[in-house]
Amino acid sequence: MLPAIQAARGSARNTQCKNNLRQLGIASQNHVSALGYFPPGTTAQEYPAVPAAPWTFYRWSGLAHVSPYMENTAAYDAIDLTVPLYTPQLVVSDENVDAVRIRVPEFLCPSDIGQTENTDFAPTNYALCTGSGIGGGAPHDTDGLAFENSRVRPARIQDGLSNTALASESTLGQPAGNGATDHDTQLEYKFITRKDLTESRCASTQQWNVTDPRGFAWVNGEYRCAMYNHYLLPNSAVPDCMGVEAGFNSTPQTRFRPYGWRAARSNHSGGVNVLMADGSVMFVSDDVDLAVWQAMATRDGGELPPQ
């Protein structure tokens, strides 16, 4: 009896997760109807008050941009997207300190824990798809639908809306010190202090969960939070890997740009839920062919759709 009850509960949680993604799909379609394009993965622009500040400090996520089109509008009503998420002092802008703590139930999968240890922000299980991840996990000019300052119109999705991933899910992270000997790829990510990820760099680094755990803030447009790609298979045993453009050679336009190879991950049995650009939701198995999985992430790759 107990296994049957557990299976029924798991199925109900999976159904609710799919419904959450459908709500995100409806909000994204309403964003398209209002503005003509899908929400960006993240934003970056000059801060007039401090021109030398990194443009990436705006960093509002696609989830923040679709929030006015969600049924729960309390978060959007409280957020001021006209100012950066982060100030040059590396703290949340005064206008948004309270808003970024507002929990949006539709952004949380019921199969997960519901909160990271960072209580200064409200978390998210859902992230927009930047593409295949080929090209070093860049956040800009990618082959998917949602990237830095993207304004992808439906007509640009040559592979078809029903064949192109818009969003998926990921498990919330938990902190674990760099001295830990065992690391859970469902909870932790690797980090390198440079851009243009390579598999060898990611494999060799011993830095884990730098600063904050995965999914800690739904407002934050970076790979740790509200962006992901299809470089790794769903629920991959290979750890997610994050990087950042830093150093004296970077410019305000590029400084602290977040790079990443972040897999879709879930606590569902055997796979993850994926929201397509037409608003449909499909369950994709962990053992999907990598070429098919990456084809789903591109908007105009010309690949055959999955059968």
pLDDT at 114 over 90: no
Give the pLDDT mean for 58-83: 90
Identify the sign of the CA torsion 23, 225, 39, 135: negative
Spatial distance between the Cα atoms of 97 and 54, rounded to a whole number of angstroms: 20
pLDDT tens digits for range 26-63: 999 999 999 999 999 999 999 888 999 999 999 999 99
Domain that holds residue 201: 12-297
Task: Give the per-residue pLDDT at 91.
Answer: 93
Residue 307: inside a domain, yes or no?
no
Give the pLDDT mean for 291-295: 97
Token pair for 83: 């100012």
Of residues 126 and 89, more confidence is placed in: 126
Of residues 115 and 190, more confidence is placed in: 190
Residue 303: inside a domain, yes or no?
no
Q: How far out from the chain centre does Cα 271 lie?
A: 17
Domain count, the chain: 1
Task: Give the per-residue pLDDT at 116.
Answer: 75
Give the pLDDT mean for 263-274: 98
Spatial distance between the Cα atoms of 78 and 39, rounded to a whole number of angstroms: 19
The answer to whether 230 touches 167, Cβ cutoff 8 Å, is: no
pLDDT at 268 over 70: yes
Residue 2: inside a domain, yes or no?
no
Percent of the chain at pLDDT > 90 equals 74
- Order of strands across the sheet with 165-169? 227-228, 126-129, 165-169, 271-276, 281-285
Percent of the chain at pLDDT > 70 equals 93
Residue 231: inside a domain, yes or no?
yes
Q: Nearest-CA neighbor of 217 among 120, 109, 149, 113?
A: 120
Banded model confidence at residue 246, pLDDT cuts 50, 70, 90: confident
pLDDT at 89 over 70: yes
Residue 283: inside a domain, yes or no?
yes
pLDDT at 279 over 70: yes
Mean of all residue pLDDT scores within the chain: 91
Residue 31: inside a domain, yes or no?
yes
207 forms bridges with which residues in the sheet?
none
Residue 119: inside a domain, yes or no?
yes
Spatial distance between the Cα atoms of 24 and 27, rounded to a whole number of angstroms: 5
Count CB-CB contacts under 10 A for residue 162. 13
Banded model confidence at residue 2, pLDDT cuts 50, 70, 90: very low
Strand (E) or helix (H) holding 190: strand 189-192
Token pair for 155: 């007509």
Banded model confidence at residue 64, pLDDT cuts 50, 70, 90: very high
Listed in sequence order, the DSSP H helices in the chain are: 2-35, 62-66, 74-78, 199-204, 290-297
Residue 41: inside a domain, yes or no?
yes
SS3 state at 218: coil
Task: Give the per-residue pLDDT at 113.
Answer: 83
Give residue for tokens 């305000």. 252
**Rg for the chain, CA atoms, rounded:** 18
DSSP string, 230-275: SSS-TT-SSPEEEEE--STT--TTTTT-EEEE-----SSSSEEEEE
Give residue for tokens 């902190």. 175
Task: Give the per-residue pLDDT at 181.
Answer: 64
pLDDT tens digits for range 168-198: 999 999 865 555 567 899 999 999 988 889 9
Q: Which amino acid is at 141?
A: D
256 forms bridges with which residues in the sheet?
none
